[in-house]
Structure 1
C-alpha cells in the first residue's frame, strides 16, 4: 500500500494491488473533507472495486455492505448531535 496524496486535515488517498496473480486488482480509496457553511462534507471515492471478476465482485459486495452497516448509521448519529 502506498499513499498517493496527503493533505493534512483534507485529503488522504491510498492505493494497493492485490498479490493474487490469478486475479490481480489495482485499488484506491480517496477521502476528502471540504468545509460547507458551518459543517464539513466527506467525499469517499473507491476505485478498482467493480464487479469484474470474482475477487473484485467480492470486494464490491464487502465495500457496499460496509457503507450500509457502518457509514450510513454513523452519519445519522452525527447528524442527530446538537451543533
Structure 2
C-alpha cells in the first residue's frame, strides 16, 4: 500500500504588514531576490516558470488567489507535481506566513529526495524572505 503524499509545513512571523509580504510573494523582481526568478503573478490560471538554478526551470500555474491572504500554485509540473500554498494572517503589526508544500510522491526517488531537500531548504528560503523584506 502506498502512503499518502507528504507535505512540508512551515510558519514564520514577519514584522511587516500583509501588503508587504504579499508583494514579496507576487512581484517578480522581489521574488527573485529571496527565492527564484520567474514571472509569478497573482492571477488564477497564470502559467510561469521558476528558475531553480541547478534544478532547472520549473513550470507552475496559479491555482488560487485571495489578495494579501492566500496564494496557491502548482510547482514543477510534469516533474514533482507538487503544490505550494502561502497563507498570510495579520498578527499584531506584522504577518504570520504559513507555507505548505504538498503532493510529494515518497515512493519515487526524485519525490523523496525533493521532500527531504526542500524540508531542510524551506526554512532558509523563509529566512531569505525575511531579510529581503527588512531591506525593502
**Runs of 4+ more than 3 Å apart:** 73-78
- Where do residues 31-46 of structure 1 align in structure 2 (5 Å cutoff)? 31-46=86-101
1:50 Cα offset (Å): 5.0
Q: Let me know the Cα RMSD of the aligned residues.
A: 2.8
1:53 Cα offset (Å): 1.6
TM-score normalised to structure 1 length = 0.65
**Greater CA radius of gyration, 1 or 2?**
1
Give yes or no for the alignment of 1:67 onto 2:122. Answer: yes
TM-score normalised to structure 2 length = 0.44
What is the aligned residue count? 74
With a CA cutoff of 8 Å and minimum separation of 6, indicate the structure with the bigger relative contact order. 2
Give the gaps of 5 or more residues in structure 1.
none
